């Protein structure tokens, strides 16, 4: 193994924390979703811990469509839009990256390209775009649509969407802006390129009215793990967030996606694979277990049944008790297919009761939950990192801010002592810290290739 290889860390900051009842915990910031000072604090904590980036998931609709008794207990419904929030946080930090989620199904390429290019400028090269197709069917009605597009159609649109956005980011060459006061020439017109894209889903002329982003492109992140998602990641993504429960599953995913890169002219280092991990940390194993059990005790019974009903769409659970074995999950969904498979494998592998299933989902929605002392947490991360399962991890604190404080104060020093994690930032941009190359402008590359062919 290359001894210089270092693991990457993202801080997945879900307002009050990732546990479904996090907002009820006495250590949580209950109003976190709309509390700027809270996000400022945890972002600066992540930077102190030398994390590569903070990451926000997002959806263009309320996720919860359940009955009022359950919905009124949901502490995750009201929150900031990510790019807006990150634009405010960027000047308060220096090195940490900002990865914002935005939908290819419910946004348009031009406006998305513009706002992410702007964030890259405002942060001096620390922006990333988490490309999602949106699994939440509730979103359709917010955009005048009767139906949520089919899974395959969403991914087909996403592939074209990403290509258009990259083309718009290449509208201007890096040195296009001369700004020569004496001659009166502001930019070199030969270094402005009109995209003129006409495809199945989009017709976009361009150019973008923002210069080429400092990173060339903000870092492209993707989270889907279905067949469509894996292929899109292999073609377009530079970081992929994934959910795996076992080392074997993580190794299979890692090898499969890395193995797809060559056909797109890419090398394994061009894509960083970062599984989600939900760490419950105690100074001892016993303390960690106590903290885990206390968190689980905060789940209201109606919320527990709501969790189960959301997984068993169109299946009547009225005849079951929580101590009955979980029945087979639905075989298909128009939402997140990879998450359905992960939960199906969990049920089949563990022979779980409905109670055990909702407790498993309540923590990290299918991501890996690890409970233990700082040394134990570090051991488990090191095992995956050193055995072909991960290039790093997307850390999902159970509660915030204390869950991130514990990871930074207790786990990061152990990873550093073992030589697994940086002791200072390698660069000033997100790309530099992730070890990713800055992409060439497609129009410049095309001109160079044409010149070589003519010679």
The set of residues, in sequence order, having a beta carbon less than 8 Å from that of 421 and lying 6+ positions away, is: 6, 7, 9, 50, 412, 415
Question: Residue 64 has what pLDDT?
Answer: 64
Number of H helices, E strands in the chain: 16, 13
For Cα atoms 431, 434, 436, give the angle at the middle one, nearest 5 degrees.
55
Residue 315: inside a domain: no
Confidence category of residue 235, pLDDT binned at 50, 70, 90 = very high
Residue 339: inside a domain: no
User: Residue 179: in which H helix or E strand, if any?
Assistant: strand 177-180
Residue 230: inside a domain: yes
Residue 189 contacts residue 182 (beta carbons within 8 Å): no
Residue 301: inside a domain: no
DSSP 141-157: GGGT-SSPPPHHHHHHH
- Residue-wise pLDDT for 261-287, tens only, equals 999 999 999 999 999 999 999 999 999
Residue 204: inside a domain: yes
Residue 298: inside a domain: no
**Distance between start and end Cα atoms, the chain:** 43
Give yes or no for residue 226 having a pLDDT over 90.
no
Residue 111: inside a domain: yes
Residue 309: inside a domain: no
User: What gap in Å lies between CA 380 and CA 407, rounded to an integer?
Assistant: 14
3-state helix, strand and coil shares in percent for the chain, rounded to the nearest 5: 45, 15, 40
Residue 100 contacts residue 83 (beta carbons within 8 Å): yes
Burial category of 35 from C-beta neighbours within 10 Å (exposed 0-12, middle 13-18, buried 19 and up): middle
- Residue-wise pLDDT for 407-440, tens only, equals 999 999 999 999 999 999 999 999 999 999 999 9
At residue 19, the 3 state secondary structure works out as coil
- Residue-wise pLDDT for 366-389, tens only, equals 789 999 999 999 999 999 999 999
Q: Could you tell me the CATH number of the domain that includes residue 441?
A: 3.20.20.30
Q: State how beta strands 8-12 and 53-56 pair.
A: parallel
Task: Count structural domains, the chain.
Answer: 1
The set of residues, in sequence order, having a beta carbon less than 8 Å from that of 17 and lying 6+ positions away, is: 23, 25, 28, 397, 398, 399, 400, 403
- Domain that residue 218 falls in: 8-281+368-454
Question: Residue 386 has what pLDDT?
Answer: 97
Average pLDDT, the chain: 91
């Amino acid at each position: 193994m290359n001894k210089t290889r270092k693991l990457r860390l993202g801080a997945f900051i879900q307002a009050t924390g990732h546990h479904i009842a996090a907002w009820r915990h006495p250590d949580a910031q209950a109003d976190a979703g709309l509390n700027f000072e809270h996000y400022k604090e945890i972002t600066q904590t992540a930077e102190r811990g030398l994390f590569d980036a903070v990451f926000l998931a997002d959806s263009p609709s309320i996720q919860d469509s359940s009955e009022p008794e359950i919905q009124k207990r949901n502490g995750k419904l009201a929150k900031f839009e990510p790019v807006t929030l990150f634009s405010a946080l960027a000047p308060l930090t220096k090195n940490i990256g900002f990865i914002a989620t935005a939908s290819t199904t419910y946004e348009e390429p031009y406006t998305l390209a513009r706002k992410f290019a702007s964030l890259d400028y405002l942060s001096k090269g620390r922006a990333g775009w988490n490309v999602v197709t949106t699994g939440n069917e509730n979103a359709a009605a917010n955009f005048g649509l009767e139906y949520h597009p089919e899974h395959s159609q969403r991914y087909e649109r996403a592939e074209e969407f990403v290509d258009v956005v990259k083309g718009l980011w290449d509208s201007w060459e890096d040195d296009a802006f001369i700004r020569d006061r004496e001659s009166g020439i502001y930019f070199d017109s030969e270094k402005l390129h009109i995209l003129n894209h006409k495809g199945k889903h989009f017709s976009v002329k361009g150019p973008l009215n923002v210069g080429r982003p400092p990173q060339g492109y903000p870092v492209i992140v993707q989270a889907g793990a279905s067949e469509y998602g894996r292929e899109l990641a292999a073609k377009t993504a530079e970081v992929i967030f994934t959910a795996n429960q076992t080392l074997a599953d993580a190794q299979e995913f890692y090898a499969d996606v890395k193995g797809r890169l060559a056909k797109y002219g890419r090398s394994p280092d061009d894509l960083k694979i970062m599984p989600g991990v939900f760490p419950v940390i105690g100074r001892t194993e016993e303390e960690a277990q106590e903290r885990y059990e206390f968190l689980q005790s905060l789940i209201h019974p109606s919320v527990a049944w709501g969790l189960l009903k959301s997984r068993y769409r169109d299946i009547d659970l009225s005849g079951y008790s929580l101590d009955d074995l979980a029945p087979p999950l639905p075989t298909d969904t128009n939402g997140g297919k990879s998450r359905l498979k992960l939960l199906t494998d969990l049920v089949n592998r563990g022979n779980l009761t409905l109670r055990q299933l909702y407790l498993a989902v309540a923590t990290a929605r299918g991501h890996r939950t690890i409970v233990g002392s700082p040394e134990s947490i570090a051991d488990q991360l090191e095992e995956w990192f050193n055995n072909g399962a991960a290039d790093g991890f997307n850390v999902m604190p159970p509660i915030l801010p204390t869950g991130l404080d514990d990871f930074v104060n207790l786990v990061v020093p152990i990873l550093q002592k073992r030589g697994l994690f940086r002791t200072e930032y390698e660069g000033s941009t997100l790309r530099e810290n992730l070890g990713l190359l800055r992409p060439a402008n497609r129009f410049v590359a095309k001109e160079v290739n044409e010149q070589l062919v003519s010679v």
